[in-house]
Amino acid sequence: MTKRACNIAVVGTGVIGAGWATHFLAHGFAVTATDPGEGAQTRLRGWIDDSWPAVERLGLADGASRDNLTFTTDLSAAVRHADFIQESGPERLDVKHALIADIESAAKVDAIIASSSSGLSVSEIQRGAKHPERIVLGHPFNPSHIIPLVEVGGGTLTSTENVAKAMAFYASTGKKTIRINKEVKGHIANRLQVALWQEAISLVQRGVASVKDVDAAIAYGPGLRWALLGPFLNLHASGGAGGITHVLRHLGPAQREWARDLGTYPENDDYIEPIAKGVDAELEPYDFPEMLRQRDDLLLQLLEAKRKLSQIP
């Protein structure tokens, strides 16, 4: 797919869909977005305007322009001429099935349909589809116009060719794609995040540390390394000349003991209020919107720095 030959449809323009629209526009594509929500067009165009300086800083492709966006509330019109359709509707199977049915009633038979689903499997999403072989997972991370990662995979009825096409397409737009070889709930990165959140909640519930200190433990500790190298490479770096083999053999017994002591995810919602109060207390001295603006600025700085280093994966 080339920019000249590829029309993009974005179905659903919430935070993720708006990020996708911004990303595709920044890479020179013509984008048709659709969302039935009242005021959706105004919100989308405002979101893109606010996000445009960030994608300008990352680098615009030839022909990139916000003027290449078309908005319609008519889903059929939005997907009719699309070569690649990014579906970012609510995380509910009944909604996904309805959207897929509506998309397939109007889309070209060879158009790839990529779902931004954060946890549903493609096999579930493609159930009942007319052309399930062209339905793939294309799960981004927020803010999706900045964060490069996209998890790509297929369901039991998806063709391997279409998964490969989706991966190649995303990569051509500057995304870092990873291939999900076997479907699991929550895919890959969200499962890793949930494992961390599970223990973070447990540490607060058990009175080991405050919400603020748990956040600091990651933001000023291993999180700094994780932004540069993944968990396995960081373990390898910790092992000196012996690498990951030495670390796992040396720390394996202790890590197994720690793992047995990890908390489990709460079975009811009683934990939510104290965690929320802890977050409110942590944020009290700060302006949260400004914090997020500064976060995005630091993300851009980090991505710019990583681009300059040939030995950082």
Averaged pLDDT of the chain? 96
pLDDT digit string, tens, across residues 95-105? 999 999 999 99
**Does residue 4 surpass a pLDDT of 90?**
no
**Does residue 197 surpass a pLDDT of 60?**
yes
* Rounded Cα–Cα distance for residues 122 and 137 (Å): 6
| Residue 304 φ then ψ, to 5° | -60, -40
Cβ atoms of 262 and 198 within 8 Å: the answer is yes
Q: In terms of Cα–Cα distance, which of 143, 176, 168 is closest to 48?
A: 143
**Does residue 113 surpass a pLDDT of 90?**
yes
Q: Which pLDDT score, from 0 to 100, does residue 313 have?
A: 87
Q: Which residues contact 117 (CB under 8 A, 6 or more apart)?
A: 91, 96, 125, 137, 139
**Strand arrangement of the beta sheet that strand 112-115 belongs to:** 69-72, 30-34, 7-11, 84-87, 112-115, 135-139, 149-154, 176-179
Chain centroid to CA 112: how far? 19
Predicted structure pTM score: 0.94
> How far, in Å, are 253, 254, 260 from residue 257 at the CA level?
6, 5, 5
Question: Which domains does the chain show, CATH number per domain?
Answer: 7-179 (3.40.50.720), 189-307 (1.10.1040.10)
**Does residue 2 surpass a pLDDT of 90?**
no
Q: Which pLDDT score, from 0 to 100, does residue 1 have?
A: 56
Average pLDDT over residues 40-55: 98
Q: Which pLDDT score, from 0 to 100, does residue 228 have?
A: 95
**Does residue 6 surpass a pLDDT of 90?**
no
Average pLDDT over residues 211-240: 96
**Does residue 265 surpass a pLDDT of 90?**
yes
pLDDT digit string, tens, across residues 81-90? 999 999 999 9
CB count within 10 Å of CB 2 equals: 9
Average pLDDT over residues 44-64: 97
pLDDT digit string, tens, across residues 232-248? 999 999 999 999 999 99
